[in-house]
Chain A
Amino acid sequence: MRKKKIISFVILILAVFTLGWLLQKLLMPKYMTKIVEGALISEYYDEKNKDHDVIFIGDCEVYENFSPITLWEKYGITSYIRGSAQQLIWHSYYILEDTLKYEKPDVVVFSVLSMMYDKPQKEAYNRMSIDGLPLSLTKIKMAKASMLPEEDLITYVFPLLRFHSRWNELSEEDFKYWFKKDKIAHNGYLMRVDVKPASSFPKPRKLADYRFGDICYDYLDKIVKLCKDNDIELVLLKAPSLYPHWYDEWDAQIVDYAKKNDLLYINMLDHLEQIGLDFSTDTYDAGLHLNLSGAEKCSVFLGKILKEKFNLADKRQDENLKAIWQEKIDAYYKMKEEQYKELEEYGYLLKFNLKRAEEDNRLQ
């Protein structure tokens, strides 16, 4: 009798956890057709071969502006971009810490734009940066460091507690991608082929204080230490986006920091001509982010520096890697082709112009 009771109780607990897991999977946003950048972080964990020469960490300045496929095709460098929308520096630190559990890259490239934020900005961005990580102490530390006052730590352990209220907005997408998601990015690169030439930006407003926040420096120190401890070369990078404005005062601080810590700092805004960027054709949103053409140009430029500076081997002849990367290349060019086709047909990319697509009744 007692044994029977224990067994039925265990079954009950299992049923609760299974049902909870199923509901959580169903109710969490899928980021497959809307706000696709939300899917970037989790994609990394589906990678079969987690062995890269270069890992990029940062916000849209990395996942929109560099193409790992180009780095492979041009230099035989294997790379992955671990970036998400408005990924703040503490997000980047913990994502790097988590990445190092799987692999030890030769070089880590960190986008320094996030130094401008010393406070959590928006819950939605926290969710996009954190929810994709598997549950671990790193994830919990990351959530603790990132949470806004209205957030609860437990919702990062059990995201069902955060997304439970989505039951009344479930769409076909939620059921379609309940258990398996499509690949959105190409080793973390979010492709866009559309073009919107750069126009003028509002004059940068003067800041009361240009010094980066202490907390940003603390996390930058932690990133430096993490890389040193793991014998990884760290590169500080400012991508060539025209907005938000990169102040000279900010740049000077990074130059100074790089010097003090013996790090390579590349401000690509200083090399626009060398890169060959043309902001009338290489950006999809008037200069904030680069499109595929711009990202490929940046990758060619950066790849050369990385290869020369850090002596990265050309791995294109490695049969094993060749097969893996060929698959990625195929998917890359297939998407490229599809996007051009979509552009031709509708004049814009559906996934990235949701409002317009909805108005035109073109969303599935």
Chain B
Amino acid sequence: MLFTSYEFILFLCIVIGLYYTIPKRFQWKLLLVASFVFYYFSGWSNLIYISVTIVSTYLVGVKLGNLDKQQKLYLKEHKESLTPEEKKAYKERIKVKRWRWLLLCLIFNLGILAVVKYTNFAIANINYIFTLFKMNELSFVNLILPMGISFYTFKTMGYIIDVCRGKYEPEKNIGKLALFVSFFPQLIQGPISRFDDLSKSLYEEHHFDAKNFAFGFQRVLWGYFKKLVIADRIVAAVLEITKNPETYDGIFVLVGMIYYAIQLYADFTGGIDITIGIAQMLGITVTENFNRPFFSKSITEYWRRWHITMGTWFRDYIFYPLSVCKPMLNISKSSRKRFGEEIGKRIPVYLSTITVWFTTGLWHGASWNFIVWGLLNGVVILVSQEFEPLYAKFHERFNVANTFGFKLFQVIRTFLLMSSLRILDCYRDVGVSFRMFGSMFTKLNINELFNGSLLKLGLDVSDYVVIIIGVIIMISVSLVQRSGSVREKIAGKPVIIRYAVFVLLFFSIIVFGAYGIGFDSNQFIYNQF
């Protein structure tokens, strides 16, 4: 059930209608049922996968909680009789047990993700090696990737790691944990919420709040506007360019890069707006996932503002633990000895960064283009970090850092840099991506932009008008957002203006949205991850 389908809108109306009419204590139960019904529409077998993940996470969570209790009780009972060394030894034993359970849970859940998502990728690579040695190839397996598995698996991993770390108590009610994992608005494309961020508002009773509801509804509409009016309209040109690399090289690669950046932004942020808006209509607060990323002045800043929950997840659960783990500390020690303080201290950071970006790439998709994309992001971030002193000197000398022109230059540079890296996502093939990127410099012919070719990409003049106006509105909203919530600002206007904005937005989606017969129904890009 896609967010853009009529079925989903009907489903949502029913859920919201029931949500505010049933007794408040049943609200979270209704959401749980609704989430499973929603997920059932993506295939009943998917329910098995998610249920297994929920049950395993729940059981290990309870076990970790019991171990914690057991430790506390034991230490309390033997407070007087145990020496500090014995206490330490006991704690260490429990800790080992806890880590074993955690590891079991992580391997199990990650194993499910790995099997369904990466088996064929692994087979393809093994086959490549086999062909080199003229060996018989392995057959691919027919596994359907459950929708949103990467998102919910990461949610459960974050939860169980935090429980193991003692950040919070494990959830005792399996139904409540199941709702946290499967909450339908964010099930298939995030944000990857943390249990302590989401659980409270997810389980508490909610009274109908007209303002909150209206704000949520407005955000949902804004999401649909971005998705249907902009992303699903421009996608025709993106596909035309990227599916025909032999025809569209040179300047068209740049055009495709920019179009894809617009599509991806409108698609993903649109989807997240719908998610957060629906949650808000239900009185639930979901973590923000974007903070005007295209206004970033560096790639590091971009990654702090784009897909925030994924970035912080990798930071908290991979980068930090990896940076301080024993083997890494050993590497740090020996590299300092071997290469000196200056270089030696960088090596663990490099290794952690590259590992994080490798896994980020792998998380996005089981193919080399995503892995290379991830690694390139890591390399660019490390290189820019290395250039920091040079930038500092430049700013010291020229004092342009605070000028509008230089900031604009930085924003455009970051946009183009990120768009260049995304070529790997567009063409989905490493070789083709590099070749097409190269063609931007070797076959550049700007005249091609003015000979009518842009109108042969599946977009006519009216499509361009809609896209340009849509993008201008999107940029304007982002600019206004810098000084506070746009919805709050609109809410402060006279009722006639408020309603006019709402009606205009609503009918812009209805009339200018690229949906229905004649348009390919596009699922959200991040649904596939």
Contact = CB atoms under 8 A, between A and B. Distances in A.
A10 B511 CA distance: 23
Interface in B478-529: 495, 499, 502-503, 506-507, 510-514, 516-519
B516 A155 contact: yes
A27 B517 contact: no
Nearest to A160: B510
A168 B462 contact: yes
5 contacts: A8-B499, A11-B499, A12-B502, A151-B517, A167-B462
A20 B507 contact: yes
Interface string A159-193: 01110110110000000000000000000000000
Contacts of B404: none
A150 interface: yes
B6 interface: yes
A152 B503 contact: no
A198 interface: no
Contact of B510 (A20, A150, A154, A168): A20
Nearest to B500: A15
Given A19-B507, A20-B507, A164 B499 contact: no
A12 B513 contact: no
Interface of B: 6, 210, 460, 462, 495, 499, 502-503, 506-507, 510-514, 516-519
A150 B512 CA distance: 20
A22 to B, nearest CB: 10
Interface of A: 5, 8, 11-12, 15-16, 19-20, 23, 27, 123, 150-152, 154-155, 160-162, 164-165, 167-168
A152 B462 CA distance: 25
Contacts of B460: 168
B516 A161 contact: yes
A229 to B, nearest CB: 34
Contacts of B516: 152, 155, 161-162, 164-165
A154 B6 CA distance: 8
Nearest to A4: B495
Contacts of A162: 516-517
Contact of A16 (B210, B503, B512): B503
Contacts of B518: 165
Q: Which of B6, B513, B514 has the largest count of A CB atoms less than 10 A from its CB?
A: B6
A139 B147 CA distance: 36
Nearest to B210: A5
B6 A152 contact: yes
A155 B518 CA distance: 14
A20 B511 CA distance: 10
Nearest to A5: B210
Contacts of B507: 19-20, 23
Nearest to B514: A165
Contacts of B495: 8
Contacts of A154: 6
B282 to A, nearest CB: 20
Nearest to A164: B511
B462 to A, nearest CB: 4
A364 to B, nearest CB: 23
Contact of B511 (A16, A27, A150, A151): A27
Contacts of A160: 510-511
Contact of B519 (A16, A151, A152, A165): A165
B519 to A, nearest CB: 7
Given A152-B6, A152-B516, A155-B516, A167 B503 contact: no
Contact of A167 (B210, B499, B506, B512): B512
A27 B516 CA distance: 15
**In the complex, the 7 A-B pairs of residues with the closest C-beta atoms, listed nearest first:** A168-B462, A164-B511, A154-B6, A12-B499, A8-B495, A167-B511, A152-B6
